[in-house]
Amino acid sequence: MNSYVTVFDKAFLPGFITMYYSLSRFNSNHKIIAFVDETIYKDKQLVKWINRLPNVETIDIDKGKFEKIKSKNQYIKAYYKFLIYTLNFDKIIFLDSDLVILQNIENLFNLKGKFHAVVEMEIPQFNTGVMVVCDPEIDTFNELIETANNHPNAMHGDQDIFNHVLKNPTPLPFEYNVLKSYHRHLGTWINSCKILHYISKKPWQSYDPKTHKEGNVECAVIETIWFDLFEKAKKELLC
């Protein structure tokens, strides 16, 4: 059995709704497992919205598993990605909740090998926003937790820990995790881009109704892609 997996809290709900909508356009029948924290349940309307989404199953995050990390690192919520290794699935496609799917990615479920991810252009690491995991094992979760406890000052948070533990991933093609910071290359890859990843400041956190951008013209087109999908998601999923 296969599944998509993500992690989000109340602050990332706009991202999750948009990511979910962008994926649903391609008629995937796979379940989406969403690890969520207690902030979701403080807003009854949020719960209603999530419960209305087909194929979504929420799992409460057991924060006790991360207590030692919490006091040392500001990236604690990103460490919740480790939980994918506690699930019992044949194959998992992990998707951050701050990205959008622009083309069908179901073929990733056909990949062979234990772990796949896209290597970044700007740093020599694979990015943890999109990962394909085959036969997840609890031992890997325990190793990730132990490594995070031993490296409290990891510069890139969970990404440093994943790269330390999973040293030899099978690389995914670049178009499966195109970072927003690559906006200067937009004209080159936009037609082949399958997943667009809004790292750093999020579109819903930097909303400018006139420009849909973060202060520079280059980002405006990329931001507009997210806002267009977000508006469609609200109309089709939440109304």
Residue 120's domain is classified under what CATH number?
3.90.550.10
β-pair type (115-119, 126-134): antiparallel
For the segment 173-209, what is each residue's pLDDT rounded down to a tens digit? 999 999 988 766 666 667 789 999 998 888 988 765 5
Backbone angles phi, psi at 42, to 5 degrees: -80, -15
Cα-based torsion angle of the residue sequence 83, 86, 88, 89 in order, rounded to the nearest 10 degrees: 40
Residue 206: domain span = 2-238
pLDDT given for residue 181 in this prediction: 83
pLDDT given for residue 70 in this prediction: 63
Q: How confident is the model at residue 47 (pLDDT cuts 50, 70, 90)?
A: confident
Handedness of CA 62, 64, 68, 72 (dihedral sign): positive
Q: Please calculate the CA angle 172-95-190 and round it to the nearest 5 degrees.
A: 60
pLDDT given for residue 102 in this prediction: 96
pLDDT given for residue 218 in this prediction: 55
Q: Which stretches within the chain are classed as H helix?
A: 13-24, 44-51, 67-70, 138-150, 158-165, 186-189, 217-233
Which residue would you say has higher pLDDT here, 239 or 208?
A: 239
Which residue would you say has higher pLDDT here, 121 or 210?
A: 121
Q: How many domains does the chain have?
A: 1
Most distant CA atoms of the chain, gap in Å: 49
CA neighbor of 158 nearest in space, from 46, 83, 48 = 83
Residue where the block lists tokens 């750093």: 200
For the segment 76-112, what is each residue's pLDDT rounded down to a tens digit? 888 999 999 999 999 999 999 999 999 999 999 999 9
pLDDT given for residue 45 in this prediction: 81
| Summary mean pLDDT of the chain | 88
3-state secondary structure at position 75? coil
